[in-house]
Amino acid sequence: MITNLESLCNQVCDLARNTGQFIRNEAPKIRTEDVESKGVHNYVTYVDRAAEELIVNKLQELLPEAGFIVEEESIQKTGQHYQWIVDPLDGTTNFIHGIPCYSVSIALMHEQHIVLGVIYEVNLEECFYAWQGGGAWLNGSPIKVSGASSLEQALLVTGFPYYDYSLLERYMELFTWCLKHTHGVRRLGSAAVDLAWVACGRFESFFEYGLNAWDVAAGSLIVHEAGGRLCDFSGKDHYIFGREIVASAPGVHDELMGKVREVFS
């Protein structure tokens, strides 16, 4: 059992920053021939793979007994009690197009509960982090979700489906409704950053479907520790592996979820 999550979190923050520095250094070197397709609109570069290897090697030193759930499949290892959930470069499409919004996301799961989360936004050099019961932080300062009390006051963020179009019609119905009842809806291209920015109050809510555990694991804990609320589209807590999530400031969550349930029921 880990006795000092805060100390471990600080070490993971250092790792995320170091990985981010590597990604930042490689960004100007990316060429079209460096981009590989893993599937429909799903891309990877040598930077993703090298960043993941860097992260995995260090995490194995920090917690040898832990297993891994990783996007680029650089390691296959299951831990008895602990699993690292890693996205070495969340926002690869932004990265290969030179759009400055992408991040490193690292989470630690104990049994089925996320107990540590770190998100490092590479271009702004912002490190968001949390450990269970320790609050949420950004570069050493505590953060909280927005205090907005209604969607009229809210700026939302989402992600557009890029391969799973099974819910597209209903998603667009929700998207259209949100455009009409909020300050607006943004799309950054990194679910990890979306969640981090909900946690620090820049956005009031984030919703998306078609996600993987490595997209949301770290951010979900950071939002929770910042005072936010999280659920899947049915209002339950199956958002880490359930491929859909709503994360919000408390003052807007129920109002938004009322519409989400109406659309997706």
The model's confidence at residue 78, banded by pLDDT at 50, 70 and 90, is: confident
Task: Name residue 103's amino acid.
Answer: S
Retrieve residue 35's tokens.
Answer: 């981009």
pLDDT band (50, 70, 90) for residue 67: very high
CA atoms within 13 A of residue 60's CA, in its CB half-sphere: 13
Residue ranges and CATH numbers for the domains of the chain are: 5-142 (3.30.540.10), 151-264 (3.40.190.80)
> Residue 161 above 90 pLDDT?
no
Output the pLDDT for position 43. Answer: 73
C-beta of residue 243 within 8 angstroms of C-beta of residue 143: no
- Beta partners for residue 85, in sequence order: 69, 107
pLDDT at 86: 97
- Share of residues in the chain with pLDDT > 70 (%): 97
Q: Using one digit for the tens of pLDDT, what is the confidence trace for 195-227?
A: 999 999 999 999 999 999 999 999 999 999 999
Q: Of the given ranges (1-15, 61-75, 202-216, 221-235), which has the lowest mean pLDDT?
A: 61-75
Instruction: Please state the rounded mean pLDDT for residues 60-68.
Output: 96
Length of the chain equals 265
Write out the E strands in 32-170: 36-39, 42-44, 67-70, 82-90, 103-110, 113-121, 126-131, 136-138, 141-142, 155-158
Q: Which pLDDT score, from 0 to 100, does residue 5 have? A: 97
146 pLDDT higher than 80? yes
Structure tokens of 228? 């936010």
- State the Cα–Cα distance between residues 219 and 265, nearest whole angstrom: 26
Average pLDDT, the chain: 94
Q: Which residues of 192-225 are buried (b: 16+ CB within 10 A; e: fewer)?
A: bbbbbbbbbbbbbbbbbbbbbbbbbbbbbbbbbb
Residue 39, pLDDT score: 58
pTM: 0.95
In whole angstroms, give the CA distance from residue 162 to residue 159: 9
